[in-house]
């Protein structure tokens, strides 16, 4: 196998592993986002939140396995750095979610959880802009974000 074929094979392997890592991180982000919503609305009893946080923890273990397997070629180092930062933020968010579920958690802890989730989301967005095929949905462009920003007079439940 020549240098060109070897580089293509490495790039292909990186793409597969990093894409799997990103997908798993998006799953964990979704799971933790649901927990954050429960906590912010006051519905976040440990009995409701424990299972999704534990699931996010397992999901992140799988994401980390894929991320470790992803050996980025030189031209993908920047992309890999953003994925690594997203993974680190999500792992801190998992620890923060456990803290929020305990009786120690208050509004400041919930704010920290939201900040970590936003950081993870931002890093995944950045990674998505670097490499084609890794784009993620920007929730600030979602229908519910529009409704929230829209004046009450324009709000319509059928606008979605």
- In order of their start, the domains of the chain are 3-154 (1.20.120.660)
- The three-point CA angle 41-140-155 to 5° equals 75
CA triple 73-83-101, angle to 5 deg: 155
Q: Is a pLDDT exceeding 70 seen at residue 146? A: no
Is the pLDDT at 151 greater than 60? The verdict is no
For residue 91, give the nearest of 133, 49, 63 by alpha carbon.
63
Identify the DSSP state of 29.
H
Give the model confidence (pLDDT) of 92-107 as tens digits: 999 999 988 876 557 8
Mean pLDDT calculated for residue range 49-57 = 93
Q: How far is residue 54's CA from residue 44's CA, in Å, rounded to a whole number?
A: 14
Please, which pLDDT band fits residue 69 given cuts at 50, 70 and 90?
very high
Query: What's the pLDDT score for residue 101?
Result: 83
Residue 108: predicted pLDDT = 84
Give the mean model confidence (pLDDT) for residues 39-60: 84
User: Using CA atoms, how far apart are residues 89 and 91, in angstroms rounded to an integer?
Assistant: 5
Would you tell me how many other CB atoms lie within 10 Å of the CB of residue 143?
Answer: 9
Residue 156 has a pLDDT of 33
98 and 53 in contact (C-beta within 8 Å)? yes
């Amino acid at each position: 196998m020549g240098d060109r074929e070897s580089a293509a094979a490495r790039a292909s392997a990186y793409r597969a592993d990093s894409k799997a890592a990103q997908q798993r991180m998006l799953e964990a982000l979704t799971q933790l986002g649901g927990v954050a919503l429960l906590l912010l609305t006051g519905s976040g009893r440990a009995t409701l939140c424990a299972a999704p946080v534990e699931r996010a923890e397992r999901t992140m273990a799988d994401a980390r396995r894929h991320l470790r397997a992803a050996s980025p070629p030189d031209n993908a180092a920047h992309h890999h750095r953003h994925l690594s930062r997203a993974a680190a933020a999500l792992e801190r968010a998992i620890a923060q979610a456990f803290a929020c579920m305990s009786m120690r958690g208050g509004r400041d802890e919930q704010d920290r959880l939201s900040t970590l989730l936003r950081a993870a989301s931002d890093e995944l967005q950045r990674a998505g802009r670097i490499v084609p095929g890794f784009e993620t949905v920007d929730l600030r462009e979602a229908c519910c974000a529009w409704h929230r920003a829209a004046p009450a007079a324009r709000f319509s439940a059928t606008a979605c």
